[in-house]
Amino acid sequence: MTKEAAGSFVSGYEAYWRRTAGEIERAIKGSVIILDTNAIVNLYRMASGGREEYFAVLEKVSDRLWVPRQVVDEFHKVRLSAVASHITGLKAKSGAVSEAAEAFKVALKDFARLYSLANGRVSEYMEPLDTAISGILEHVHSDVEGFDLDPSDLASSDPILDRLAEMLDGKVGSGIAEGDLKAALAEAKLRGEQKIPPGYKDWEKKGEDGAGDYLIWQEMLEFAKSVHQDILFVSTDVKEDWFRRQAGFVIGPRPELVKEMQDEAGSSYHHVTLAEFLRTASEALGVFVSPNTINRAQELERDRNQFKLNLTRQVLAASESLQDAIEEREKYAQELALVSDRSRLLQGTVHRLGERLNEATLGELARASMSREADVLSRELRELNDRLDVLVVTVERCDNRIEAARADLNVQRGRLDEAEALF
């Protein structure tokens, strides 16, 4: 962000505007291009054709590529898991398509039968649909079966990793020095608590384990200081601590980040999604990138956000279920305590009445009255004891429900943590 010109209404506020296509093109042509973890990992989530187009773009700018050490650390931790997760997702979507197609066919067949009760025109409805659906399902299943990567193969022989190594060796940061790491984590904590971008969203969820985004940013700042060049960061992360949103639109990188990069390194800072990078690079660099590849990059970003949103909702639902179970147990536990106290009180009263009834000096009228009272209290005591038995079982069931809810919450949190690591 440039220093505000005296009296100017717009100068110095450029970071609040969406970058023009021309500005992004110039950044792609002249800036150092820094790749985030998922901008690299998405190579493993693309079909082979799209992967080759993406590599062609990277090779065109390979002399200006750079990757923070934190990104490389994260990449190697999630590489195989990302492929496995992607394959699982493909199979799940394929299954969902098959189920939806079958449900649609059943519904249309029922309608046709109802509509043409006597004239047997069901086949007129079903034949074109069966043909179309069969073609769709064949295409979907072919895409799933045709995905060319397998984690077990990549564990020992990974051609993508080989190409990345050839392209990026010598272009990787050294990371935060051991002596500076404590101070960097303290700064990440401060930013997380004060909601200073970037990284506070991950810090809110994971504490010190969520410092990765800030460490990447710190590496970028230090690198920019050393090379005195403008920076273009390519990332699939569109959280609010990286991007500024207004009126439902992504405007661009957070103005605070633009300003910090300018103040600390004297460099301009651009931040684009992978889809935008591929689309603009295709025009700016004269490298062919098909609309399918660009669309796939956009889908990966949407899938990432939707998957994490669904997992977050599941964590919330599991947490609410646990809280409901705890509250229900508390309610029955309180009733159990009250009934238990009442039962002990009645037991004492009935016992004392029994002792008095055995007294030889007790008159007949008093004995009859006490006997009736003892019978009433004994019936109440039996009812209380029956209720106690029910409450003890109910509280035990609540304990089991709490245990199951806690286990489910831990599973959902684990899945969300895994997704956070993968995405």
Decide if pLDDT at 135 tops 90: no
Q: Using DSSP bridges, classify how beta strands 249-253 and 243-246 pair: parallel, antiparallel or unpaired.
A: antiparallel
pLDDT above 60 for 321 = yes
Q: What is the mean pLDDT of residues 7-23?
A: 73
Give the whole-number percent of the chain exceeding pLDDT 90. Answer: 31
Highest mean pLDDT among 91-105, 126-140, 198-212, 334-348: 334-348
Least confident interval from 83-97, 146-160, 186-200, 281-295: 83-97
pLDDT at 211: 85
pLDDT in tens, 51-77: 999 999 999 999 999 999 999 999 998
What is the per-residue pLDDT for 303?
66
Give tens-digit pLDDT for 341-387. Answer: 988 998 888 888 888 888 777 778 887 888 888 888 888 888 888 88
d(CA 317, CA 163): 43
Chain mean pLDDT for the chain: 83
pLDDT band at residue 118 using 50, 70 and 90 as cut-offs:
very low
Confidence of residue 107 (pLDDT cuts 50, 70, 90): confident
Closest CA to 290 of 41, 54, 24, 55: 54
Q: How far apart are CA 170 and CA 58, in angstroms?
A: 15
Cβ-contact 33, 65 below 8 angstroms: yes
Q: Which of 85, 86, 91, 74 is nearest to 46 (CA)?
A: 86
> pTM surpassing 0.75?
no
| 304 vs 257: which has the higher pLDDT | 257
- Report percent pLDDT > 70 for the chain: 86
Does residue 238 contact residue 305 with C-beta atoms inside 8 Å?
yes
Task: Render pLDDT for 221-247 as a digit per residue (tens, 0 to 9).
Answer: 999 999 999 999 999 877 888 888 776
What is the mean pLDDT of the segment spanning 140-152?
74
CB atoms near residue 227 (< 10 Å): 12
Distance spanning both ends of the chain, measured CA to CA: 30
Confidence at residue 116, expressed as pLDDT on a 0 to 100 scale: 54
Least confidently predicted of 14-28, 96-110, 324-338: 96-110
- Check: CB of residue 278 under 8 Å from CB of residue 297: yes
Q: Is the pLDDT of residue 423 over 60?
A: no
Q: Cβ distance 312 to 77 under 8 Å?
A: no
